[in-house]
Amino acid sequence: MSPSGYAGEATGHTSGEAEMRLDETDAREAVSDSGSYFAPAVKSARDARAAVLALPLEQDRKERALLVVSELTTNAIVHAGGVLYLQVRHNDGQIRVEVADASARLPGPIKVNLTSGRGLLMVEALAKAWGSEPRSWGKVVWAELE
């Protein structure tokens, strides 16, 4: 995927309780793998950081994973109205980070300026792959690290 950010019309925004209702299949998938699921709350962000730090990985890999978690969650908050869930999976040495939000707007080309536009460039540099998947309730942006 090319260096990108969020662009285009915002669609699919809802508020309050409706925003938290995920498709039942997606919600099950979010908690069924050998990973950690974190609800959208400040305590959850601390818990997600602690979970990444507890992974049996070298310090450099943990730090890269923490940066990816930070950038994807920041993008969901700034560009898509907030995080619905964050998931960190660790299987066979691979790390997968998923951040879901209620916006249907997918990442797209952006302009880098003095104050913004570098987050997904950083994710692209740190991850072996990243992308986004539309859902009926919004989207999931993911990154995979070795």
Q: How far is it, in rounded angstroms, from Cα 82 to Cα 99?
A: 10
CB neighbourhood size of 57 (10 A) = 17
Q: How far is it, in rounded angstroms, from Cα 106 to Cα 80?
A: 9
Secondary structure (DSSP) of 56-110: SS-HHHHHHHHHHHHHHHHHHHHHHS--SEEEEEEETTEEEEEEEES--PPEE--
- Residue 145 — pLDDT band, cuts 50, 70, 90? very high
Q: What is the pLDDT of residues 62-94, one digit of tens each?
A: 999 999 998 998 888 888 888 888 888 888 889
| Mean pLDDT taken over the chain | 74
CB 133 within 8 A of CB 107: no
Q: What is the pLDDT of residues 5-29, one digit of tens each?
A: 433 322 232 223 333 333 434 433 4
Q: What percent of the chain has pLDDT over 70?
A: 68
Q: How far is it, in rounded angstroms, from Cα 120 to Cα 72?
A: 8
- State the angle between helix axes of 119-126 and 59-80 in degrees (0 to 180), rounded to the nearest 10: 150
Q: Between 90 and 116, name the one with better pLDDT.
A: 90
Which run of H or of E encompasses 50? helix 42-54
- Residue 41 — pLDDT band, cuts 50, 70, 90? low
What the chain holds in terms of domains, given with CATH numbers, is: 5-145 (3.30.565.10)
Q: Between 113 and 98, name the one with better pLDDT.
A: 98
Percentages helix, strand, coil for the chain (3-state, rounded to 5) are 40, 25, 35
Report the pLDDT value the prediction gives residue 2, as an integer from 0 to 100. 34
